[in-house]
Amino acid sequence: MLDIKLIRNDPEAVKAAVARRGEDTSSIDEIVELDARVRAHMTAVDQIREESNRVSKEIGELYRNGETEKAEALKAGTEGQKENERQHADALAHLQATIRELLLNVSNMPSPEAPDGLTEDDNVVVRVEGYDPDAIADHQRVPHWEIGEQLGILDVDRAVRMSGSMFAMYRGHGAHLLRALISYGLDRNRDAFEEIRPPTVVKTDTMIGTGHLPKFADDAYHLERDDLWAIPTAEVPLTSMVAGEILDQADLPMRLMAHTTCYRREAGSAGRDTRGLLRVHEFDKVELYSFCTPEQAQAMHMEILERAENAIRDLGLAHRVLDLACGDISGAGTRTYDIEVFAPGADRWLEVSSVSWCTDYQARRANIRYRPEGEKGTRFVHSLNGSGLAVPRVWAGIVETYRQPDGSIRMPDVLLPYLGGLTEIPAPV
């Protein structure tokens, strides 16, 4: 969430920034107004408590000295104070809860450098690599859901029978390829990132920490009986890993990576891009993540983007990098780069990574701070995340891109160490 002090001191600037997303900013005015009332009640409560603390201490002293009568007299004088305090305290608590609720629903301020615009059409293409529409051969123009069926490596129909639409099942070499991609995604970042395998089902507080709740409750799977949520991305448990902690500056930047399954209801996108693996409710992903100081954040953003892009480049996939327009940046982000792979069979760009710099927006929610060296007090860390490898769409890109004239699929060189001798998925006989 945003810093209430920042909103208090310069509401117009905050509104202007948030408005670039196309978001309604009227709640910010409301917050400012409620905040003033909060502080009035706060002062009142503090004064009442100060007085009551003082009197209590005095009573204690009187009892100790055996001056029971005086003590009783003082006690009698405290009547009514309690009710008075309670009224202010209740009003205060109520206002604070309201403010928090409002605050949780205000998105992060986009970076001044983020491109203007409200939709994905306004995203700026930073670079395109390996994309040549004229060089795409006919045998590559087969969508992966057809290839998957032909080769017996992807079985959507049976997955749908078990779990409903937008679920997939990988089989045989297809499942093996999936596993290879996960290992590949992790291993190539092992030089700097600590591998984590977190829980994939988490408490409500954990989801709030990253900004996925309350705003996007409809997009997440909820296990009502135990009040647990299936994570939409490893970003959720990774952020919460150090929730409430004060980190040593020496430990920053902290680099973490995790392979997890991710669950998304995709509530707003029913019927869109539903063929094959374009959009599924359950998928595997390797996530790259970092906590760092504000000073380190910009460089870390570039590092994660570079690592994610290199993984795609080394797989030999045509791709492009987008600088997202304000309106397309997810709630917690201040700036986001997307990586899209071109899938020649499906004939479209598929988002395979979203690399976001969240400033202290998530850290504030999850209360993650660090002690700056040579400075008093604490500061909130910055958090950054990016998909190191989103498996299904990369899988789709590979299967379509590497399809040979005979219908077999050659395996990218960089995956060979993970495929136990498999160099191609053979064509059906």
We find the least distance from the C-beta atom of residue 267 to RNA, in angstroms, to be: 28
| 43 makes contact with RNA (CB under 7 A) | yes
- Residues binding RNA: number (CB under 7 A): 31
Residues, the chain, total? Answer: 429
Q: Which of 26, 165, 269, 378 touches RNA (CB under 7 A)?
A: 378
Task: Tell me if 39 contacts RNA by CB under 7 A.
Answer: yes
Q: How far is the CB of 101 from RNA (least distance, A)?
A: 16
Does position 129 bind RNA by CB under 7 A? no
Contact range with RNA by CB under 7 A, out of 75-83, 138-146, 287-295, 392-400: 75-83
Ranges assigned E (strand) in 270-371: 282-292, 319-323, 335-343, 348-357, 369-371
The residue among 249, 254, 245 whose CA lies nearest residue 373 is: 249
Report, in Å, the least distance between residue 198 CB and RNA.
15
Please choose, out of 56-64, 259-267, 295-303, 393-401, the segment that lies near RNA by the rule CB under 7 A.
Answer: 56-64
Side chain identity, residue 191: D
One of 45, 278, 305, 315 touching RNA (CB under 7 A): 45
- Report in angstroms how near the CB of residue 32 gets to RNA at its nearest: 12
Q: Please give the distance of CA 55 from its chain centroid, rounded to a whole number.
A: 50
Of positions 10, 29, 46, 218, contacts RNA by CB under 7 A: 46
Is residue 42 a contact point for RNA (CB under 7 A)?
yes
Least distance CB 252 / RNA (angstroms): 16
Query: Is beta strand 369-371 parallel, antiparallel or unpaired with respect to 379-380?
Result: antiparallel
Q: Report if residue 9 touches RNA, rule: CB under 7 A.
A: no
What part of residues 196-235 is at the interface with RNA (CB under 7 A)?
Answer: none
- When the beta carbons of 132 and 226 are compared against RNA, the nearer one is 226
Asked whether position 78 contacts RNA by CB under 7 A, the answer is yes
Which residue, among 407, 413, 252, 389, has the nearest Cα to 319 in the 3D structure? 389
Q: Could you tell me which stretch among 9-17, 60-68, 249-257, 331-339 binds RNA (CB under 7 A)?
A: 60-68
Residue whose structure tokens are 């509530």: 267
Instruction: Measure Cα distances from 332 to 60, 81, 200, 208 in Å.
Output: 51, 43, 20, 11
Interacting stretch for RNA, rule CB under 7 A, among 22-30, 123-131, 309-317, 376-384?
Answer: 376-384
Contacts of 168 (CB under 8 A, 6+ apart): 154, 155, 156, 159, 276, 277, 280, 282, 392
Number of neighbouring beta carbons within 10 Å of residue 42: 15
Residue 387 is inside which H or E element, if any? strand 382-390
Q: Which residues pair with 297 in a beta bridge?
A: none
47 belongs to the binding site for RNA (CB under 7 A):
yes
Site for RNA in 279-338 (CB under 7 A): none
Determine contact, residues 139/147, Cβ cutoff 8 Å: no
Report the nearest approach of RNA to the CB of residue 88 (Å).
11
Backbone dihedral region of 316: left (phi > 0), alpha (psi from -120 to 50 degrees) or beta?
left
Under rule CB under 7 A, residue 20 binds RNA: no
CA–CA separation, 251 vs 207, rounded Å? 25
Binder of RNA out of 93, 175, 270, 299 (CB under 7 A):
93
User: Residues interacting with RNA, by CB under 7 A?
Assistant: 4-5, 39, 42-43, 45-47, 49-50, 52-57, 59-61, 63-64, 75, 78, 82, 93, 246, 369, 371, 376-378
